[in-house]
Structure 1
Amino acid sequence: MSEIDKRNRLTEEPFTYQITKKGMVMIYFEGKQIKMVNERDAERLITKIKEVEDDKIKIQLLLAKITGNFKRGNEKLGKNNKN
């Protein structure tokens, strides 16, 4: 078992990306946009993605790392708690 992806979430491919004409990278998690990467960071990310383009798990790992720890489990509280 990999120490990085203990729950095997990356095999489900939750992350997708889109490269715009301006060179920005839009990152999506389960269909929702969560991050836009600009300029140098986008260039570095595109280069890394091209290096591992045959390995979907490595691409998922790159996208997960650049998004950081965005999902904490309390996202539904805002939707359901309408006080």
Structure 2
Amino acid sequence: MPQPHGFRYEELADGAVVITHLERAAGTLRGPRAQQFLAEVVTGDPQLVMARWTGNYKRGNERTARNHPRNRH
């Protein structure tokens, strides 16, 4: 399975955590979930942790979706 990339996170002043993927918001965590995420992200591979928390794992349908007429550029 390819290694996820392009994730970043930012901890806000109010304790919330905003996770972005390729400069687009992928999720916002608040309260105990934000604290649990921060504890987990420093102990494991940050990219894998953020992919798991946001649900952005590779699903195997990326090629099919990329070739759909709606997604062609």
Distance 2:56 2:10 in 1: 20
Query: Is residue 23 of structure 2 the alignment partner of residue 36 of structure 1?
Result: no
Q: Note the 1:51-62 alignment, pairs <5 A.
A: 51-52=43-44, 58-62=45-49
Q: TM-score, normalised by structure 1?
A: 0.63
Runs of 4+ in 1 over 4 A off after TM superposition: 69-74
Residue among 55, 58, 72 paired with 1:68: 55
Q: Please give the TM-score of this superposition, normalised by the length of structure 2.
A: 0.70
- What is the aligned residue count? 66
Find the counterpart in structure 2 of residue 20 from structure 1. Answer: 12
Which moves more between the two structures, 61-70 or 25-34?
A: 61-70
- Matching residue's letter, 2:30: N
Identity %: 20
**Unaligned residue ranges in structure 1 (runs of 5+):** 1-5, 53-57
1:48 alignment counterpart: 40
For residues 50 and 40 of structure 1, what CA distance do their matches in structure 2 show?
Answer: 16
- Structure 2 unaligned residues grouped into runs of 5+: none
Partner of 1:3: none
The structure showing larger relative contact order (alpha-carbon pairs under 8 Å, at least 6 residues apart) is 2
